[in-house]
A and B are shown apart, each in its own frame.
Chain A
Amino acid sequence: MIVLAIARDLLAEARSRRWVLAFLGGATLLLAAVAFGLRFEVVDGALAATRLFGGDLKSDVRSVDVALRPLFVATSYLVFYCGLVFGVVATADFAPALLAPGRIEPLLALPVRRWQVLAGTFLGVEALVLAAALYGGAGVALLLWLKTGVANAGPLVAAASAAVAFAPIYAAMLTAALGVRSAALSGGAGLLLLVAGVVAGNRAAVAELFQPGASRSVFLGVTSLLPRLSALAKVAAAASESRPVPGGPLLALVAGTLAFALAVLALGVDRFERRDF
């Protein structure tokens, strides 16, 4: 309960921060720009041509959802990766601010365990990112539905995947901030893990670029420990294309990613416990 209370406090604080509100406002404006500014006529025209000429020629006319799959896939990737980058940028200074002199001491004076402070902060940020990602994902899905007449859950799945992928990223950011109280370093750690996670998600293909031997083994060994973040993006892309995603591997992927986040968080707890304020 204490953990949840800390998370709730963090969300309340985020709500009061102008720049978070500004960020959400910016995302809304972006969605509006997508709705009104982009030339969806191209899509409409392509669909009309498919219907017209496909019908006349009596050839196989692709259904609208199939014709639009590339668009949905691209949108899912956009929501996933933009959501992650947004999350890193938006939350980079949370942990450094929490650990700032004059602020952490009163918090630690309360009857709260240090791991509870970290866990509460982590959960609060995760909830914030999930809400923002769902906002963006749902907005994009809604816009696409209105413009094309096809409902596609891809952007929503991408938003949920981004929230899962953000867990290890923010755990790394939090742990980095416990080492050096710097928003830049915290954000850098997050982006680094994001890139490493993309590589790890494609490790089998990337490994083929190494000569067989020690270098390839080292690469495979190191990346076996990292979360496969790009694999989560591919799940969203598969959902956009209405391709089935096997439940077992998906569950293992999500559980493995969250376990990695908890491992990094445990490292952060270890640092936090050893540090004097």
Chain B
Amino acid sequence: MKRHVPLLLAVLLVGLSALLLSVAEGPRPASARAEVDFPRWLREPEAERLQARRTLAPVPAPAAAPEAEEEPPRPRDPFLVALPRDPQKPLVVLEANALRHSRLGELFVECLLRRPGRDPFEEARREAGIDPLKDIDRVAFAQDGMILFGFFDRAQLAALEAESRVTRRGEQGLVYEPLRATGPAMSLGTWRRELIVAGEPAFVEATLDRLEGRSAGTPALIPERLTYGEAYGVVPGAALANLFRGEQAELGRRIASAASRIELHADAMRDVAVVANVSGADERAVEDLGTALGAAIAVGRIQALAGGSSQVAELLEHARVVRGAGGGFSLELALPVEVLERWFAGCGTAQP
């Protein structure tokens, strides 16, 4: 036993040393958790959700009926039917109700309600009869307008009717055009008591026409299989180029020429996890763009760490570029809930 004393002592001293050195280091800077669940495909709850949303009657089968073996047309999700279908224009959908009950939504609403002054949602409740926190299920943002889908049975449209010229569009659609136009032409449309669309008159009418089955069957920009996450959408490269101005315009054009389509998906129930699937006609150019982006993320993270930009470093902690199997790549970004809560801490409280 005496022979092993130095060895035992060495082990004890190594332990003591590690303990003391960890005390000297202090707590490690908060690092994001390793496992963040990224929205990469349609998951079971989302598949169930899309089944439940198919409330619109199917498109009638063509007169020349196909063979009996073909699958009968199925009911459709009216909101998805209403969405614009121009692939050259961006379209983003927010699952408003799900986001409201996500951790991000809770933090955001708490922050707004903590601000001194009136409840910011009270005006909408009183004047329009719509509670933004309860009645809106989904919102779509398009280039020419926006579409709200939800429960608008209590919506107060009397004041709007008094100030507008109301015309019927199809069986269940109504278009409200302001009698006194100020600024660019805008109108509002409703369909049943489920959907409200606002924007350019042509956009409003086209939306209602799609719901009424009065438009050509152009393929959907966001088909059912892409409706996963609390936010999703499609951005064409041309729209991305518009984000770059001045000296950066050429850079924007080059990125747009490589990435012709960007598909976005974001989860926010707990961690905020965003996936951007980038694709383009020139596979080589898209691959180069992905490689360059991956390197930029790595350099950015090191620069942020070196420069003490902890928020940027935290944002880039889980950022990475993943190559797609069939060409293209995915850019993944995540903010763990712990980081999110820290960022929102103190939000909305009066500054001294």
Give A contacts to B, CB under 8 Å. Answer: 115, 204-205, 208-209, 212-213, 224-225, 227-228, 231, 248-250, 252-253, 255-257, 259-260, 262-264, 266-267, 269-270, 273-274
Q: What would 23 A/B residue contacts be, using CB atoms closer than 8 Å?
A: A205-B305, A208-B301, A208-B317, A212-B31, A212-B32, A224-B18, A224-B22, A227-B21, A231-B25, A249-B24, A252-B24, A256-B16, A259-B14, A259-B16, A262-B9, A262-B13, A263-B10, A263-B12, A263-B16, A266-B6, A267-B6, A273-B6, A274-B3
Give B contacts to A, CB under 8 Å. Answer: 3, 6-7, 9-14, 16-26, 28-29, 31-32, 34, 301-302, 305, 313, 317-318
B24 and A250 contact, CB distance less than 8 A? yes
A228 and B24 contact, CB distance less than 8 A? yes
> With A228-B25, A270-B6 in contact, do A260 and B13 touch (Cβ < 8 Å)?
yes
Contacts of B318 in A (CB 8 A): 212
* Distance in angstroms between the alpha carbons of A269 and B19 in the assembled complex: 23
* Distance in angstroms between the alpha carbons of A256 and B15 in the assembled complex: 9
Contacts of A267 in B (CB 8 A): 6-7, 10
The 8 Å CB contact of B34, one of A213, A264, A269, is: A213
A252 and B21 contact, CB distance less than 8 A? yes
Contacts of A248 in B (CB 8 A): 23
> With A205-B305, A253-B24, A256-B24 in contact, do A225 and B19 touch (Cβ < 8 Å)?
no
Contacts of B29 in A (CB 8 A): 204
* Distance in angstroms between the alpha carbons of A274 and B3 in the assembled complex: 9
Contacts of B25 in A (CB 8 A): 204, 228, 231, 249
* Distance in angstroms between the alpha carbons of A270 and B334 in the assembled complex: 50
The 8 Å CB contact of A256, one of B3, B17, B28, is: B17
> With A205-B305, A262-B13, A263-B14 in contact, do A256 and B19 touch (Cβ < 8 Å)?
yes
Closest to B2 in A: A273
Which of the listed residues A228, A249, A266, A267 has the most CB atoms from chain B within 10 Å of its own CB? A266
Closest to B306 in A: A205
B18 and A256 contact, CB distance less than 8 A? yes
**What 12 additional pairs, Cβ within 8 angstroms, besides A270-B7, A270-B10?**
A204-B28, A225-B18, A231-B24, A231-B25, A253-B21, A253-B24, A256-B20, A256-B21, A262-B13, A263-B17, A266-B6, A273-B3
* Distance in angstroms between the alpha carbons of A179 and B6 in the assembled complex: 16
Contacts of A250 in B (CB 8 A): 24
Nearest Cβ distance between residue A57 and chain B, in whole angstroms? 29
* Distance in angstroms between the alpha carbons of A205 and B28 in the assembled complex: 10
Tell me whether chain B's interface is mostly helix, strand or loop, or mixed.
helix
Nearest Cβ distance between residue A253 and chain B, in whole angstroms? 4
Contacts of B11 in A (CB 8 A): 263
A260 and B34 contact, CB distance less than 8 A? no
> With A204-B29, A269-B6, A270-B6 in contact, do A225 and B24 touch (Cβ < 8 Å)?
no
Nearest Cβ distance between residue A268 and chain B, in whole angstroms? 8
Closest to A250 in B: B24
Contacts of B26 in A (CB 8 A): 249
Contacts of A274 in B (CB 8 A): 3
Which of the listed residues A205, A231, A255 has the most CB atoms from chain B within 10 Å of its own CB? A255
Closest to B11 in A: A263
Contacts of B7 in A (CB 8 A): 266-267, 270
> With A227-B17, A259-B20, A266-B10 in contact, do A209 and B28 touch (Cβ < 8 Å)?
no
A257 and B21 contact, CB distance less than 8 A? yes
Q: Give 7 closest A-B pairs by Cβ, nearest first.
A: A256-B20, A263-B13, A253-B24, A256-B21, A266-B10, A259-B17, A270-B6
A257 and B17 contact, CB distance less than 8 A? yes
Nearest Cβ distance between residue B288 and chain A, in whole angstroms? 22
Contacts of A231 in B (CB 8 A): 24-25
Closest to B13 in A: A263
Which of the listed residues B18, B23, B32 has the most CB atoms from chain A within 10 Å of its own CB? B18
Which of the listed residues B7, B10, B16 has the most CB atoms from chain A within 10 Å of its own CB? B10
Closest to A208 in B: B305
A260 and B17 contact, CB distance less than 8 A? yes
The 8 Å CB contact of B13, one of A115, A205, A259, is: A259
* Distance in angstroms between the alpha carbons of A126 and B178 in the assembled complex: 89
B34 and A212 contact, CB distance less than 8 A? yes
B17 and A209 contact, CB distance less than 8 A? no
* Distance in angstroms between the alpha carbons of A270 and B4 in the assembled complex: 8
Closest to A220 in B: B28
Contacts of B32 in A (CB 8 A): 212
Nearest Cβ distance between residue A260 and chain B, in whole angstroms? 4
Closest to A267 in B: B10
Closest to A255 in B: B20
Contacts of B305 in A (CB 8 A): 205, 208
Nearest Cβ distance between residue B69 and chain A, in whole angstroms? 49
* Distance in angstroms between the alpha carbons of A171 and B24 in the assembled complex: 21
Nearest Cβ distance between residue A233 and chain B, in whole angstroms? 14
Contacts of A260 in B (CB 8 A): 13-14, 17, 21
